[in-house]
Structure 1
Protein backbone atom coordinates (compact mmCIF):
# COMPACT_ATOMS: atom_id res chain seq x y z
CA UNK A 1 0.00 0.00 0.00
CA UNK A 2 1.32 3.44 -0.95
CA UNK A 3 1.94 6.12 1.62
CA UNK A 4 -0.28 9.20 1.23
CA UNK A 5 1.61 12.44 1.82
CA UNK A 6 -1.46 14.56 1.12
CA UNK A 7 0.16 16.27 -1.84
CA UNK A 8 1.40 15.55 -5.34
CA UNK A 9 5.06 14.50 -5.19
CA UNK A 10 7.16 15.09 -8.30
CA UNK A 11 10.73 13.92 -8.90
CA UNK A 12 11.91 16.33 -11.57
CA UNK A 13 14.87 14.37 -12.94
CA UNK A 14 15.05 10.59 -12.96
CA UNK A 15 16.48 8.10 -15.45
CA UNK A 16 14.86 4.72 -16.04
CA UNK A 17 16.58 1.88 -17.87
CA UNK A 18 14.15 -1.05 -18.20
CA UNK A 19 16.73 -3.29 -19.88
CA UNK A 20 19.88 -2.78 -17.82
CA UNK A 21 18.71 -1.11 -14.60
CA UNK A 22 15.88 -1.37 -12.10
CA UNK A 23 13.39 0.21 -14.47
CA UNK A 24 9.84 -0.05 -13.20
CA UNK A 25 10.93 -1.45 -9.83
CA UNK A 26 12.38 1.99 -9.12
CA UNK A 27 9.01 3.53 -9.98
CA UNK A 28 7.29 1.11 -7.61
CA UNK A 29 9.64 2.17 -4.80
CA UNK A 30 8.95 5.84 -5.56
CA UNK A 31 5.18 5.28 -5.58
CA UNK A 32 5.15 3.15 -2.44
CA UNK A 33 6.71 6.00 -0.45
CA UNK A 34 4.13 8.50 -1.75
CA UNK A 35 5.61 9.64 -5.06
CA UNK A 36 2.99 10.52 -7.65
CA UNK A 37 4.67 12.19 -10.65
CA UNK A 38 7.95 11.78 -12.54
CA UNK A 39 9.95 13.66 -15.12
CA UNK A 40 11.93 10.91 -16.85
CA UNK A 41 14.96 12.10 -18.81
CA UNK A 42 16.59 9.85 -21.39
CA UNK A 43 19.95 8.44 -20.38
CA UNK A 44 23.01 9.61 -22.33
CA UNK A 45 22.83 7.89 -25.69
CA UNK A 46 26.12 6.00 -25.29
CA UNK A 47 24.89 4.54 -21.99
CA UNK A 48 22.24 2.75 -24.03
CA UNK A 49 24.79 1.51 -26.56
CA UNK A 50 24.06 4.16 -29.19
CA UNK A 51 27.06 5.83 -30.84
CA UNK A 52 25.25 8.35 -33.02
CA UNK A 53 26.57 9.39 -36.42
CA UNK A 54 23.31 10.91 -37.68
CA UNK A 55 20.36 12.62 -35.94
CA UNK A 56 18.07 9.65 -36.57
CA UNK A 57 20.43 7.46 -34.53
CA UNK A 58 19.08 9.08 -31.36
CA UNK A 59 15.57 7.81 -32.05
CA UNK A 60 15.97 4.41 -30.29
CA UNK A 61 17.13 6.26 -27.16
CA UNK A 62 14.02 8.41 -27.24
CA UNK A 63 11.74 5.46 -27.98
CA UNK A 64 13.11 3.59 -24.97
CA UNK A 65 12.31 6.57 -22.75
CA UNK A 66 8.79 7.29 -24.00
CA UNK A 67 7.92 3.59 -23.74
CA UNK A 68 9.06 3.34 -20.11
CA UNK A 69 7.21 6.59 -19.33
CA UNK A 70 3.96 5.00 -20.52
CA UNK A 71 4.59 1.97 -18.32
CA UNK A 72 5.56 4.15 -15.34
CA UNK A 73 2.35 6.15 -15.66
CA UNK A 74 0.38 2.95 -15.15
CA UNK A 75 2.08 2.52 -11.74
CA UNK A 76 1.58 6.07 -10.46
CA UNK A 77 -1.38 7.81 -8.87
CA UNK A 78 -0.37 10.76 -11.04
CA UNK A 79 1.69 10.26 -14.18
CA UNK A 80 5.14 10.42 -15.75
CA UNK A 81 6.38 12.66 -18.53
CA UNK A 82 9.38 12.32 -20.84
CA UNK A 83 12.03 14.98 -21.36
CA UNK A 84 14.20 14.12 -24.36
CA UNK A 85 17.43 15.48 -25.74
CA UNK A 86 21.16 15.16 -26.21
CA UNK A 87 23.41 15.04 -23.16
CA UNK A 88 25.94 17.89 -23.38
CA UNK A 89 28.77 15.52 -22.45
CA UNK A 90 28.37 13.90 -25.87
CA UNK A 91 30.41 16.73 -27.39
CA UNK A 92 33.52 15.50 -25.59
CA UNK A 93 32.91 11.91 -26.57
CA UNK A 94 32.58 12.97 -30.21
CA UNK A 95 35.57 15.32 -30.24
CA UNK A 96 37.99 13.52 -27.91
CA UNK A 97 37.23 9.90 -28.75
CA UNK A 98 35.63 9.78 -32.17
CA UNK A 99 37.51 12.39 -34.18
CA UNK A 100 34.72 14.90 -34.73
CA UNK A 101 35.48 18.59 -35.02
CA UNK A 102 33.57 20.85 -32.62
CA UNK A 103 31.35 22.19 -35.42
CA UNK A 104 30.59 18.68 -36.67
CA UNK A 105 29.67 17.63 -33.14
CA UNK A 106 27.48 20.72 -32.79
CA UNK A 107 25.60 19.91 -35.99
CA UNK A 108 24.97 16.30 -34.95
CA UNK A 109 23.77 17.32 -31.49
CA UNK A 110 21.50 20.01 -32.87
CA UNK A 111 20.07 17.44 -35.27
CA UNK A 112 19.41 15.11 -32.35
CA UNK A 113 17.49 17.90 -30.65
CA UNK A 114 15.45 18.38 -33.82
CA UNK A 115 14.44 14.72 -33.57
CA UNK A 116 13.57 15.12 -29.87
CA UNK A 117 11.40 18.11 -30.76
CA UNK A 118 9.34 15.84 -33.02
CA UNK A 119 8.32 13.87 -29.93
CA UNK A 120 7.24 17.10 -28.24
CA UNK A 121 5.23 18.05 -31.31
CA UNK A 122 3.51 14.66 -31.29
CA UNK A 123 2.69 14.89 -27.56
CA UNK A 124 4.99 12.00 -26.59
CA UNK A 125 7.42 14.22 -24.71
CA UNK A 126 6.91 17.20 -22.42
CA UNK A 127 10.15 19.04 -23.08
CA UNK A 128 13.75 19.03 -24.26
CA UNK A 129 17.09 18.41 -22.56
CA UNK A 130 20.30 20.22 -23.40
CA UNK A 131 23.08 22.19 -21.71
CA UNK A 132 26.84 22.47 -21.77
CA UNK A 133 29.77 20.63 -20.12
CA UNK A 134 30.23 21.11 -16.40
CA UNK A 135 33.99 20.54 -16.76
CA UNK A 136 36.83 22.35 -18.53
CA UNK A 137 36.81 22.17 -22.33
CA UNK A 138 38.52 24.05 -25.15
CA UNK A 139 37.14 27.39 -26.29
CA UNK A 140 35.95 25.79 -29.54
CA UNK A 141 34.03 23.06 -27.72
CA UNK A 142 32.56 25.63 -25.30
CA UNK A 143 31.36 27.75 -28.21
CA UNK A 144 29.87 24.74 -29.97
CA UNK A 145 28.13 23.64 -26.77
CA UNK A 146 26.57 27.05 -26.25
CA UNK A 147 25.32 26.98 -29.84
CA UNK A 148 23.70 23.60 -29.18
CA UNK A 149 22.00 24.99 -26.07
CA UNK A 150 20.77 28.08 -27.91
CA UNK A 151 19.31 25.78 -30.57
CA UNK A 152 17.43 23.93 -27.83
CA UNK A 153 15.99 27.24 -26.65
CA UNK A 154 14.86 28.08 -30.18
CA UNK A 155 13.15 24.71 -30.44
CA UNK A 156 11.56 25.22 -27.02
CA UNK A 157 10.18 28.57 -28.11
CA UNK A 158 8.93 27.08 -31.37
CA UNK A 159 7.29 24.09 -29.65
CA UNK A 160 6.21 26.10 -26.59
CA UNK A 161 7.92 23.58 -24.33
CA UNK A 162 10.39 23.70 -21.44
CA UNK A 163 14.09 23.01 -21.74
CA UNK A 164 15.88 21.21 -18.93
CA UNK A 165 19.60 21.94 -18.64
CA UNK A 166 22.70 20.08 -17.51
CA UNK A 167 25.38 22.73 -16.90
CA UNK A 168 28.20 23.71 -14.60
CA UNK A 169 27.29 24.38 -10.99
CA UNK A 170 26.42 28.03 -10.36
CA UNK A 171 24.15 30.26 -8.33
CA UNK A 172 23.84 32.73 -11.23
CA UNK A 173 22.92 31.64 -14.75
CA UNK A 174 21.21 34.88 -15.69
CA UNK A 175 23.04 35.01 -19.02
CA UNK A 176 21.64 31.64 -20.03
CA UNK A 177 18.15 32.75 -19.05
CA UNK A 178 18.60 35.86 -21.20
CA UNK A 179 19.67 33.70 -24.15
CA UNK A 180 16.44 31.75 -23.78
CA UNK A 181 14.38 34.93 -23.64
CA UNK A 182 16.12 36.17 -26.79
CA UNK A 183 14.58 33.19 -28.61
CA UNK A 184 11.14 33.78 -27.12
CA UNK A 185 11.35 31.14 -24.39
CA UNK A 186 10.49 32.44 -20.92
CA UNK A 187 13.24 31.98 -18.35
CA UNK A 188 10.79 30.18 -16.05
CA UNK A 189 10.55 27.47 -18.72
CA UNK A 190 14.30 26.83 -18.47
CA UNK A 191 15.02 24.34 -15.67
CA UNK A 192 18.51 23.92 -14.22
CA UNK A 193 18.97 20.27 -13.30
CA UNK A 194 21.19 19.45 -10.27
CA UNK A 195 20.77 22.90 -8.74
CA UNK A 196 21.59 24.20 -5.31
CA UNK A 197 19.09 25.91 -3.06
CA UNK A 198 19.21 29.28 -4.83
CA UNK A 199 19.68 30.21 -8.47
CA UNK A 200 19.39 33.45 -10.44
CA UNK A 201 18.04 33.02 -13.97
CA UNK A 202 16.44 29.63 -14.72
CA UNK A 203 14.12 27.65 -12.47
CA UNK A 204 16.22 25.51 -10.11
CA UNK A 205 15.64 21.78 -9.86
CA UNK A 206 17.16 21.24 -6.45
CA UNK A 207 19.02 18.09 -5.52
CA UNK A 208 17.10 16.60 -2.62
CA UNK A 209 19.69 17.03 0.10
CA UNK A 210 18.32 18.51 3.30
CA UNK A 211 20.73 21.47 3.36
CA UNK A 212 19.89 22.49 -0.21
CA UNK A 213 16.17 22.01 0.35
CA UNK A 214 16.15 24.10 3.52
CA UNK A 215 17.82 26.97 1.64
CA UNK A 216 15.29 26.68 -1.19
CA UNK A 217 12.33 26.46 1.20
CA UNK A 218 13.39 29.52 3.17
CA UNK A 219 14.12 31.55 0.04
CA UNK A 220 10.48 31.27 -0.99
CA UNK A 221 11.24 31.27 -4.73
CA UNK A 222 10.01 28.74 -7.30
CA UNK A 223 11.93 25.45 -7.21
CA UNK A 224 11.58 21.77 -8.03
CA UNK A 225 12.99 18.65 -6.34
CA UNK A 226 14.96 15.84 -7.95
CA UNK A 227 17.18 12.82 -7.33
CA UNK A 228 19.03 12.38 -10.65
CA UNK A 229 18.57 8.64 -10.08
CA UNK A 230 20.73 7.13 -12.84
CA UNK A 231 19.37 3.54 -12.83
CA UNK A 232 22.78 2.01 -13.42
CA UNK A 233 23.29 -1.53 -12.06
CA UNK A 234 26.98 -0.76 -11.50
CA UNK A 235 26.02 2.25 -9.34
CA UNK A 236 22.96 1.18 -7.31
CA UNK A 237 21.18 4.12 -5.70
CA UNK A 238 23.24 6.73 -7.56
CA UNK A 239 22.96 9.69 -7.62
CA UNK A 240 20.09 9.50 -5.13
CA UNK A 241 17.68 6.61 -4.79
CA UNK A 242 14.09 6.73 -6.07
CA UNK A 243 12.64 6.88 -2.55
CA UNK A 244 14.45 10.13 -1.73
CA UNK A 245 11.99 12.79 -2.93
CA UNK A 246 8.98 11.33 -1.08
CA UNK A 247 11.09 11.01 2.05
CA UNK A 248 12.27 14.60 1.75
CA UNK A 249 8.71 15.80 1.26
CA UNK A 250 7.75 14.11 4.50
CA UNK A 251 10.75 15.78 6.17
CA UNK A 252 9.79 19.21 4.82
CA UNK A 253 6.28 18.73 6.17
CA UNK A 254 7.63 17.75 9.57
CA UNK A 255 9.86 20.85 9.55
CA UNK A 256 6.87 23.09 8.86
CA UNK A 257 7.66 23.88 5.22
CA UNK A 258 4.21 23.11 3.84
CA UNK A 259 4.28 26.19 1.60
CA UNK A 260 7.56 25.05 0.10
CA UNK A 261 6.11 21.61 -0.62
CA UNK A 262 3.26 23.23 -2.52
CA UNK A 263 5.74 25.44 -4.36
CA UNK A 264 7.89 22.52 -5.46
CA UNK A 265 5.16 20.04 -6.35
CA UNK A 266 2.19 22.11 -7.50
CA UNK A 267 3.06 25.71 -8.33
CA UNK A 268 6.48 25.34 -9.96
CA UNK A 269 5.52 22.36 -12.16
CA UNK A 270 2.69 24.54 -13.47
CA UNK A 271 5.05 27.47 -13.99
CA UNK A 272 7.93 25.59 -15.62
CA UNK A 273 6.18 22.72 -17.40
CA UNK A 274 2.57 23.89 -17.71
CA UNK A 275 1.36 20.71 -15.98
CA UNK A 276 -1.28 20.32 -13.28
CA UNK A 277 -0.07 17.82 -10.72
CA UNK A 278 -3.33 18.04 -8.77
CA UNK A 279 -5.70 17.47 -11.68
CA UNK A 280 -3.59 14.54 -12.91
CA UNK A 281 -3.94 12.65 -9.64
CA UNK A 282 -6.39 9.78 -9.75
Structure 2
Protein backbone atom coordinates (compact mmCIF):
# COMPACT_ATOMS: atom_id res chain seq x y z
CA UNK A 1 0.00 0.00 0.00
CA UNK A 2 1.26 3.50 -0.83
CA UNK A 3 2.87 5.29 2.08
CA UNK A 4 1.14 8.28 3.60
CA UNK A 5 3.10 11.51 3.49
CA UNK A 6 2.50 12.18 7.18
CA UNK A 7 3.13 10.57 10.55
CA UNK A 8 0.16 8.45 11.64
CA UNK A 9 -0.26 7.99 15.41
CA UNK A 10 -2.72 5.66 17.10
CA UNK A 11 -3.01 7.21 20.54
CA UNK A 12 -4.49 4.18 22.34
CA UNK A 13 -3.79 0.60 21.32
CA UNK A 14 -3.28 -2.54 23.38
CA UNK A 15 -0.74 -5.19 22.42
CA UNK A 16 -1.13 -8.39 24.41
CA UNK A 17 2.09 -10.46 24.45
CA UNK A 18 0.49 -13.17 26.58
CA UNK A 19 -2.85 -13.97 24.96
CA UNK A 20 -3.10 -11.86 21.81
CA UNK A 21 -1.32 -11.04 18.56
CA UNK A 22 1.21 -8.73 20.17
CA UNK A 23 3.68 -7.35 17.64
CA UNK A 24 1.70 -8.80 14.72
CA UNK A 25 -0.96 -6.14 15.33
CA UNK A 26 1.70 -3.43 15.14
CA UNK A 27 2.93 -4.95 11.86
CA UNK A 28 -0.61 -4.72 10.44
CA UNK A 29 -0.83 -1.08 11.56
CA UNK A 30 2.49 -0.38 9.82
CA UNK A 31 1.48 -2.14 6.58
CA UNK A 32 -1.44 0.23 6.18
CA UNK A 33 0.66 3.33 6.81
CA UNK A 34 0.74 3.65 10.60
CA UNK A 35 3.99 5.03 11.98
CA UNK A 36 3.61 5.71 15.71
CA UNK A 37 1.82 3.95 18.57
CA UNK A 38 0.99 4.61 22.17
CA UNK A 39 0.66 1.16 23.73
CA UNK A 40 -1.46 0.92 26.86
CA UNK A 41 -0.96 -1.90 29.32
CA UNK A 42 -3.94 -4.20 29.57
CA UNK A 43 -5.54 -4.71 32.99
CA UNK A 44 -3.34 -6.76 35.30
CA UNK A 45 -5.82 -9.65 35.33
CA UNK A 46 -5.48 -10.03 31.56
CA UNK A 47 -1.69 -10.33 31.69
CA UNK A 48 -0.72 -11.72 35.08
CA UNK A 49 -3.37 -11.75 37.81
CA UNK A 50 -5.49 -9.24 39.66
CA UNK A 51 -2.92 -6.87 41.09
CA UNK A 52 -2.94 -6.35 44.83
CA UNK A 53 0.66 -5.21 45.27
CA UNK A 54 3.34 -3.18 43.54
CA UNK A 55 5.24 -6.18 42.22
CA UNK A 56 2.24 -7.53 40.30
CA UNK A 57 1.73 -4.14 38.69
CA UNK A 58 5.43 -4.06 37.86
CA UNK A 59 5.26 -7.48 36.19
CA UNK A 60 2.44 -6.35 33.91
CA UNK A 61 4.20 -3.09 33.11
CA UNK A 62 7.41 -4.93 32.20
CA UNK A 63 5.50 -7.10 29.72
CA UNK A 64 4.02 -3.98 28.11
CA UNK A 65 7.39 -2.24 27.91
CA UNK A 66 8.88 -5.31 26.20
CA UNK A 67 6.14 -5.69 23.59
CA UNK A 68 6.20 -1.93 22.92
CA UNK A 69 9.96 -2.03 22.28
CA UNK A 70 9.38 -4.88 19.83
CA UNK A 71 6.62 -2.87 18.13
CA UNK A 72 9.00 0.06 17.66
CA UNK A 73 11.25 -2.23 15.61
CA UNK A 74 8.53 -2.80 12.99
CA UNK A 75 7.41 0.83 12.68
CA UNK A 76 8.88 3.65 10.62
CA UNK A 77 8.38 5.78 13.73
CA UNK A 78 8.23 4.86 17.41
CA UNK A 79 5.99 3.11 19.91
CA UNK A 80 5.82 4.33 23.49
CA UNK A 81 4.29 2.63 26.55
CA UNK A 82 1.57 4.33 28.56
CA UNK A 83 1.26 2.59 31.92
CA UNK A 84 -1.22 2.72 34.75
CA UNK A 85 -4.14 1.14 36.53
CA UNK A 86 -7.44 0.28 34.89
CA UNK A 87 -10.26 1.94 36.84
CA UNK A 88 -12.30 -1.29 36.87
CA UNK A 89 -9.73 -2.79 39.25
CA UNK A 90 -11.54 -1.11 42.12
CA UNK A 91 -14.62 -3.24 41.46
CA UNK A 92 -12.56 -6.42 41.26
CA UNK A 93 -10.92 -5.63 44.59
CA UNK A 94 -14.16 -4.67 46.32
CA UNK A 95 -15.75 -7.88 45.07
CA UNK A 96 -12.79 -9.73 46.61
CA UNK A 97 -13.46 -8.18 50.01
CA UNK A 98 -11.43 -4.97 49.99
CA UNK A 99 -13.03 -1.78 51.23
CA UNK A 100 -13.14 1.06 48.68
CA UNK A 101 -10.44 2.83 50.69
CA UNK A 102 -8.20 -0.25 50.70
CA UNK A 103 -8.75 -0.69 46.97
CA UNK A 104 -7.88 2.97 46.44
CA UNK A 105 -4.59 2.47 48.28
CA UNK A 106 -3.70 -0.55 46.12
CA UNK A 107 -4.44 1.36 42.93
CA UNK A 108 -2.50 4.42 44.04
CA UNK A 109 0.47 2.15 44.77
CA UNK A 110 0.19 0.85 41.21
CA UNK A 111 0.24 4.39 39.89
CA UNK A 112 3.34 5.07 41.96
CA UNK A 113 5.04 2.24 40.07
CA UNK A 114 3.83 3.60 36.73
CA UNK A 115 5.30 6.99 37.60
CA UNK A 116 8.64 5.28 38.29
CA UNK A 117 8.57 3.85 34.76
CA UNK A 118 8.02 7.37 33.41
CA UNK A 119 10.72 8.91 35.58
CA UNK A 120 13.21 6.15 34.70
CA UNK A 121 12.62 6.44 30.97
CA UNK A 122 10.74 3.61 29.28
CA UNK A 123 7.18 4.97 29.68
CA UNK A 124 5.80 8.14 28.12
CA UNK A 125 2.67 8.75 30.19
CA UNK A 126 0.33 7.42 32.89
CA UNK A 127 -3.17 6.04 32.54
CA UNK A 128 -5.90 6.30 35.14
CA UNK A 129 -9.57 7.21 35.35
CA UNK A 130 -12.79 6.12 36.99
CA UNK A 131 -15.44 3.48 36.23
CA UNK A 132 -17.53 3.95 33.11
CA UNK A 133 -20.40 2.02 34.74
CA UNK A 134 -22.61 2.68 37.76
CA UNK A 135 -20.94 2.27 41.16
CA UNK A 136 -21.90 3.31 44.69
CA UNK A 137 -20.83 6.63 46.16
CA UNK A 138 -17.92 5.19 48.18
CA UNK A 139 -16.39 3.53 45.11
CA UNK A 140 -16.93 6.68 43.03
CA UNK A 141 -15.24 8.85 45.64
CA UNK A 142 -12.32 6.44 45.99
CA UNK A 143 -11.96 6.30 42.20
CA UNK A 144 -11.78 10.07 41.96
CA UNK A 145 -9.07 10.03 44.63
CA UNK A 146 -7.12 7.51 42.54
CA UNK A 147 -7.44 9.73 39.49
CA UNK A 148 -6.32 12.83 41.38
CA UNK A 149 -3.29 10.88 42.62
CA UNK A 150 -2.43 10.14 38.98
CA UNK A 151 -2.61 13.87 38.22
CA UNK A 152 -0.33 14.66 41.15
CA UNK A 153 2.22 12.05 40.06
CA UNK A 154 2.13 13.22 36.45
CA UNK A 155 2.72 16.77 37.58
CA UNK A 156 5.74 15.60 39.56
CA UNK A 157 7.36 13.54 36.77
CA UNK A 158 6.27 15.84 33.94
CA UNK A 159 4.05 13.61 31.83
CA UNK A 160 0.50 13.38 30.51
CA UNK A 161 -2.36 11.26 31.84
CA UNK A 162 -4.72 9.26 29.65
CA UNK A 163 -8.14 8.88 31.23
CA UNK A 164 -10.54 5.96 30.97
CA UNK A 165 -13.88 7.31 32.21
CA UNK A 166 -17.59 7.34 31.63
CA UNK A 167 -18.87 8.80 28.38
CA UNK A 168 -19.95 12.39 27.95
CA UNK A 169 -18.77 15.73 26.66
CA UNK A 170 -18.15 17.95 29.69
CA UNK A 171 -15.11 16.99 31.76
CA UNK A 172 -14.19 20.54 32.74
CA UNK A 173 -14.25 19.61 36.44
CA UNK A 174 -11.76 16.80 35.86
CA UNK A 175 -9.41 19.14 34.01
CA UNK A 176 -9.75 21.60 36.89
CA UNK A 177 -8.77 18.84 39.34
CA UNK A 178 -5.67 18.13 37.29
CA UNK A 179 -4.58 21.75 37.49
CA UNK A 180 -5.24 21.76 41.24
CA UNK A 181 -2.84 18.80 41.50
CA UNK A 182 -0.16 20.54 39.44
CA UNK A 183 -0.85 19.08 35.98
CA UNK A 184 -1.74 21.42 33.09
CA UNK A 185 -5.12 20.53 31.57
CA UNK A 186 -3.55 20.22 28.12
CA UNK A 187 -1.70 17.16 29.47
CA UNK A 188 -4.97 15.41 30.35
CA UNK A 189 -6.30 13.18 27.56
CA UNK A 190 -9.84 11.78 27.46
CA UNK A 191 -9.44 8.33 25.90
CA UNK A 192 -12.37 6.99 23.85
CA UNK A 193 -13.78 10.44 23.18
CA UNK A 194 -16.49 11.43 20.83
CA UNK A 195 -15.82 14.33 18.53
CA UNK A 196 -16.80 16.98 21.07
CA UNK A 197 -15.29 17.11 24.56
CA UNK A 198 -14.71 20.05 26.92
CA UNK A 199 -11.91 20.13 29.47
CA UNK A 200 -9.23 17.59 28.52
CA UNK A 201 -7.69 16.95 25.12
CA UNK A 202 -9.90 14.51 23.25
CA UNK A 203 -8.60 11.22 21.89
CA UNK A 204 -11.27 10.46 19.33
CA UNK A 205 -12.40 6.92 18.69
CA UNK A 206 -11.82 6.69 14.96
CA UNK A 207 -15.31 6.35 13.59
CA UNK A 208 -15.96 8.66 10.67
CA UNK A 209 -18.77 10.55 12.38
CA UNK A 210 -16.68 11.27 15.47
CA UNK A 211 -13.67 12.37 13.43
CA UNK A 212 -15.86 14.65 11.33
CA UNK A 213 -17.29 16.20 14.52
CA UNK A 214 -13.76 16.75 15.88
CA UNK A 215 -12.68 18.42 12.64
CA UNK A 216 -15.77 20.65 12.67
CA UNK A 217 -15.21 21.64 16.29
CA UNK A 218 -11.56 22.48 15.69
CA UNK A 219 -8.89 22.59 18.36
CA UNK A 220 -6.43 19.91 19.37
CA UNK A 221 -7.34 16.23 19.17
CA UNK A 222 -5.81 12.78 18.83
CA UNK A 223 -7.07 9.63 17.12
CA UNK A 224 -7.26 6.08 18.45
CA UNK A 225 -8.67 2.61 17.90
CA UNK A 226 -8.66 1.21 21.46
CA UNK A 227 -7.71 -2.07 19.79
CA UNK A 228 -7.81 -4.57 22.67
CA UNK A 229 -5.85 -7.47 21.09
CA UNK A 230 -8.22 -10.15 22.37
CA UNK A 231 -8.38 -13.36 20.32
CA UNK A 232 -12.00 -13.83 21.40
CA UNK A 233 -12.90 -10.37 20.02
CA UNK A 234 -10.78 -9.85 16.89
CA UNK A 235 -10.94 -6.29 15.61
CA UNK A 236 -12.43 -4.90 18.83
CA UNK A 237 -12.81 -2.06 19.53
CA UNK A 238 -11.45 -1.00 16.13
CA UNK A 239 -8.79 -2.89 14.20
CA UNK A 240 -5.12 -1.86 13.86
CA UNK A 241 -5.55 -0.64 10.26
CA UNK A 242 -8.34 1.80 11.15
CA UNK A 243 -6.39 4.97 11.97
CA UNK A 244 -4.23 4.83 8.81
CA UNK A 245 -7.38 4.24 6.75
CA UNK A 246 -9.13 7.19 8.38
CA UNK A 247 -6.12 9.41 7.71
CA UNK A 248 -6.31 8.50 4.00
CA UNK A 249 -10.00 9.39 4.04
CA UNK A 250 -9.31 12.69 5.84
CA UNK A 251 -6.71 13.65 3.23
CA UNK A 252 -9.17 12.77 0.45
CA UNK A 253 -11.67 15.11 2.13
CA UNK A 254 -9.06 17.88 2.11
CA UNK A 255 -8.62 17.90 5.87
CA UNK A 256 -4.84 18.14 5.72
CA UNK A 257 -4.70 20.64 8.58
CA UNK A 258 -6.73 18.35 10.83
CA UNK A 259 -4.40 15.45 10.04
CA UNK A 260 -1.45 17.58 11.05
CA UNK A 261 -3.28 18.63 14.22
CA UNK A 262 -3.98 15.04 15.27
CA UNK A 263 -0.70 13.41 14.29
CA UNK A 264 1.97 16.11 14.67
CA UNK A 265 0.86 19.16 16.65
CA UNK A 266 -1.26 17.60 19.39
CA UNK A 267 1.21 14.77 20.17
CA UNK A 268 3.92 17.42 20.56
CA UNK A 269 1.71 19.59 22.74
CA UNK A 270 0.46 16.80 25.02
CA UNK A 271 3.36 14.36 25.21
CA UNK A 272 6.35 16.35 24.01
CA UNK A 273 7.03 13.89 21.18
CA UNK A 274 8.10 14.81 17.65
CA UNK A 275 6.38 12.41 15.28
CA UNK A 276 8.16 13.91 12.25
CA UNK A 277 11.71 13.78 13.63
CA UNK A 278 11.21 10.18 14.79
CA UNK A 279 10.33 8.96 11.32
CA UNK A 280 13.00 6.93 9.55
CA UNK A 281 13.59 7.25 5.83
Q: TM-score, normalised by structure 1?
A: 0.98
The answer for the alignment partner of 1:71 in structure 2 is 70
Equivalent of 2:258 in 249, 260, 266: 260
**Aligned equivalent of 1:279:** 277
Post-superposition Cα deviations, 1:207-265, rounded to whole Å, max 9, x if no partner, equal 00000000101211100000000000011110000000000000000111111000000
**Corresponding residue for residue 158 of structure 2:** 160
CA separation in 2, counterparts of 1:76 and 1:134?
32
Cα distance, 1:47 vs. partner? 1.1
Q: Give the match for residue 102 of structure 1.
A: 100
Distance 1:51 1:241 in 2: 26
2-structure distance, mates of 1:114, 1:90? 15
Mapped partners of 1:3, 1:137: distance in 2: 48
CA distance in 2, matches of 1:194, 1:37: 18
Q: CA deviation at 1:49?
A: 3.1
Q: Which moved more, 1:52-61 or 1:105-114?
A: 52-61
1:4 deviates by: 1.1
2:74 match: secondary structure: coil
Deviation per residue, 1:97-149 (Å, 9 max, x gap) = x1110000000000000011110011110010000001110000000000000
Counterpart CA distance in 2 for 1:57 and 1:262 is 39
Q: Which residue of 1 aligns with 2:56?
A: 57
Which aligned segments of 4 or more residues in structure 1 are displaced greater than 4 angstroms? none
Distance 1:80 1:267 in 2: 17
CA RMSD of superposed structures (Å): 0.7
Cα deviation, 1:16-36, whole Å, max 9, x if unaligned, reads 012211111111110010000
2: distance between equivalents of 1:138 and 1:215?
A: 33
Corresponding residue for residue 230 of structure 2: 232
Deviation at 1:3, TM superposition (A): 3.3
Q: 1:48 offset after TM fit, Å?
A: 1.3
| Matches of 1:125 and 1:181, distance apart in 2 | 22
Paired position in structure 1 for 2:113: 115
TM-score for both structures, normalised by structure 2: 0.98
Gaps of 5+ in 2: none
In 2: Cα distance, 1:243 partner to 1:236 partner: 13
Q: What is aligned with 1:139? A: 137
* 1:185 and 2:183 aligned: yes
**C-alpha distance in structure 2 between counterparts of 1:170 and 1:187, whole Å:** 17
